[in-house]
Amino acid sequence: MIKKIVIIFSFLLCISCQNFGQLKLVADLPKDLEEVSGTEIVPKSNLIWMVNDSGNKPTLFGLNEKGKIIKEIYIKAKNHDWEDLTSDEKGTIYIGDFGNNVSKRKNLSIIIVEQNELDEKNAEVDEIEFEYPNQTKFPPKKKNLYFDAESFFYFNNALYIFTKSRVKENYGKTTLYKIPAKKGKYIAEIVDEFENCTDIECWITSADISPNGKKVVLLSQNKVLIFTDFIGDKFLSGKVETIDLTHRSQKESITFKDNNTLLISDEKAHGTGGNLYELKI
């Protein structure tokens, strides 16, 4: 019993000594989510939903606010490289299977998990297939490695995908594409572009739009970019506010808890991360 108390005290002491900067630690994520790549607050659900990226089972996890896994759903679709989550007003979850590290994939997709499937242990799903209109080679030359993606969100019956640059000295570039939020095969439409900073910490790893549709956030390893005052879906052409995060980790996902509160999660890597955080904006 004394040994258990010492272990718990040591863990709490370790956590209290860590500096998370502006981020408030919400929970230490369970081992099953050490490679978390998507986090989403879903209408008509009281759970926080998460997925892991490539190399992991096709499982959708539902957690409570303390970071405990309450629900595990086996998704009847392959996890090629799941990179983000979003949801619509009906509570339908969309899983972005569009991780594309060397821009050579021809099977980019988004998996549709209807709200009623969240009550099942094994979920039947539909799929959206898409391609980029400006990619002609698979893979392209190194100077054109702009077709990886880790970020998207739902808005007005469409899905908006933000690419992640793999081009040296231009890591912060992202292109915004749009496709319909329904089953089918599509050629994505280019909507907008944005140039973040240039080093490797600048690539975009997640995105979300606020419940009232007035704020868009993009996440990188060391920043949260907040876009406001945009017109229509030209989200990246609006006013930009940058929050420099003093805490460094492999941050992979961001979602709005409410119009002024964000949840951010990071992978467990190099002895850090594997947590869920809260950020007031």
d(C-alpha 124, C-alpha 144), whole Å? 36
d(C-alpha 194, C-alpha 171), whole Å? 11
Extents of the domains making up the chain: 22-280
Number of residues written out for the chain: 281
Please give the pLDDT value at position 7: 44
Q: Which of 12-26, 135-149, 153-167 has the lowest mean pLDDT?
A: 12-26
Residue type, 211: P
What pLDDT, in 10s, does the model give residues 24-33?
999 999 999 9
> How high is the mean pLDDT of the chain?
93
What pLDDT, in 10s, does the model give residues 239-262?
999 999 988 899 999 999 999 999
Please give the pLDDT value at position 272: 86
d(C-alpha 7, C-alpha 244), whole Å? 34
What pLDDT, in 10s, does the model give residues 99-140?
999 999 999 999 999 999 999 999 999 999 999 999 999 999
Instruction: Identify the helix (H) or strand (E) that includes residue 6.
Output: helix 2-17
Quick check: 217 and 262 in contact, CB under 8 A? yes
pLDDT at 149 over 70: yes
Helix (H, G, I), strand (E, B) or coil at 119: helix
**Structural fold of domain 22-280:** Neuraminidase (2.120.10)
pTM of the shown model: 0.93
Work out the average pLDDT over 82-92: 98
Work out the average pLDDT over 87-99: 98
d(C-alpha 247, C-alpha 262), whole Å? 15
Strand partners, 9: none
Please give the pLDDT value at position 16: 43
- What are 121's two structure tokens? 């242990």
Residue type, 201: E
According to DSSP, residue 169 is labeled: T
Please give the pLDDT value at position 269: 87
Report which of residues 20 and 52 the model is more confident about.
52
Please give the pLDDT value at position 247: 85
What pLDDT, in 10s, does the model give residues 186-195?
999 999 999 9
Q: How many CB atoms lie within 10 A of CB 239?
A: 9
pLDDT at 82 over 80: yes
Please give the pLDDT value at position 20: 84
pLDDT band at 2 (very low <50, low <70, confident <90, very high): low
